[in-house]
Amino acid sequence: MSIFFELPLQYQLEWWQWSMAFFGAFLVGISKSGIKGIGVVTVTVLAIVFGGKASTGIVLLLFCVGDIFAVIYYNRYTQWKFLYRLLPWMFLGVIIGNYIGKELPEQSFKKGMSIIILLIVVLMIWWDRNKDQIKIPDNWWFAGIMGLIGGFTTMVGNLAGPFANIYFLAMRLPKNQFIGTAAWLFLILNLFKLPFHIFSWGTISIDTLRLDLRLLPFVLLGIIAGIAMVKVIKEQQYRLMILVLTALGALMIFIK
């Protein structure tokens, strides 16, 4: 039993790295409990600790756990018709991302990941400033574009959240329906990605399971905290804070 919990050398971290890893796992729970937009920060923090490509497998396992709790809590609000429109395109995007992302060297992967994050930050700032004047289409091709981009970015960096958020906002889903539908979307999508990370990329292994077992309690704490935070936090101030932290984190990955 002790052998199973023993970490390999690459996961024997310094205290500050463990602190960042625990913080990232805590943010996973917060993001999955209904506070959208913080998932990019999670990806950024864990990429700094473990590296761009390696972190995708570590984060994915934590995301799956958070998704299960989110589905249990918000299942009754799920709007399946929107999932049927989006998921096939996301599956295709994941497959494309698997073949393109697999061949990227680590340094190029990290820089590409940071650029994607920065572009998402710009996209979300633009959306916040113009959302009252923007009429986003709800045609099938819009679901196709958001699904393909979201599937590709979630495979190469677990970064589909902003694209799914824009799509669900365009569908004018109320808050709880938004959260419940997104919960099922990411549970299905993340489970679909697992074989690629295990057999193709090799970013999920017994070693990553050992590491994630240490991070899992912080995911659960984040879920509890996130449910409470949803009720009291001021949306605009919170979003600004997340966007700033996300941009700084992406810059740190780029120059590291």
Dihedral angle of Cα 182, 184, 185, 188, to the nearest 10 degrees: 160
Look up residue 122 and give its two tokens: 């710009």
Spatial contact of 44 and 253, defined as CB atoms under 8 Å apart: yes
In the chain, the amino acid numbered 220 is L
247: pLDDT strictly greater than 80: no
How do residues 8-25 score in pLDDT, each as one tens digit? 767 788 899 999 999 999
Residue 235: per-residue pLDDT: 58
Distance CA 145, CA 32 (A): 24
- What residue segments make up the domains of the chain, in order of their start? 2-255
Distance CA 212, CA 59 (A): 8
Q: Note the pTM of the prediction, 2 decimals.
A: 0.81
Residue 209 C-alpha from the chain's centroid: 18
What does the mean pLDDT of the chain come to? 82
2: pLDDT strictly greater than 60: no
Residue 189: pLDDT band with limits 50, 70, 90: very high
